[in-house]
Amino acid sequence: MIELVLGGARSGKSRYAEQQAMACGLQVIYLATAEAGDAEMHRRIEHHRQRRPAKWQTLEEPIQLAAVLQQHAHPDCCVLVDCLTLWLCNVLFDKQGQLQEAVFAEQRTALLDTLGQCQGQIIMVSNEVGMGVVAADAMTRRFVDEAGFLHQALAQICDRVTLVTAGLPQQLK
């Protein structure tokens, strides 16, 4: 079973996904995609770490998401990926903010191809960023567009899609 959990910033999407993982009764692998580039991001990551049960295995992989899923997605395991939008930033832009088309295309294709072959339970968390105004700069517009296209492609593959707003999960699929 593959679930996509969408929501805005501070919507409760990660907490909901963690509750789903705890309730499944399987061994949980938490696959973190964030990198602490500044003190505020470090605090966010630490907050997530403290909330997770100690028995969960944590893997950190900012780019090679498909490879890690291939290695760890098994019938007796739940892999919780948090979050796809940070992963998208990591593969779409390099550390200097330059577009890296080849890396993005390769990693996006690998993720979509891999998900169809995975066994076990996979829960992926992502930010719904396309509900606001059109951004003024090209870089942000590209990110929002690619996030929307990625979510649409994932929604076709996923067994369940949940939108979390104000801590309330709404089943879309």
Catalytic residue among 42, 48, 72, 151: 48
More confident residue, 95 or 172: 172
How far apart CA 117 and CA 25 sit, in angstroms, is: 22
Q: How do residues 100-139 score in pLDDT, each as one tens digit?
A: 999 999 999 999 999 989 989 999 999 999 887 888 899 9
What is the residue extent of each domain of the chain? 2-171
| CB-side neighbour CA atoms (13 Å) of 147 | 24
For the domain 2-171, what is the CATH superfamily, name and number? P-loop containing nucleotide triphosphate hydrolases (3.40.50.300)
72 is catalytic: no
| 63 — pLDDT class (breaks 50, 70, 90) | very high
Question: Which residues contact residue 78 at a Cβ distance below 8 angstroms, ignoring those fewer than 6 apart?
Answer: 21, 24, 26, 27, 28, 29, 120, 121, 122, 123
3 state SS of 27 = strand
Contact 2, 111 (CB under 8 A): no
pLDDT more than 70, % of the chain: 100
The pTM (predicted TM-score) of the whole model is 0.93
State the SS3 of 98-152. CECHHHHHHHHHHHHHHHCCCCCEEEEEEECCCCCCCCCCHHHHHHHHHHHHHHH
Region 138-157 average pLDDT: 96
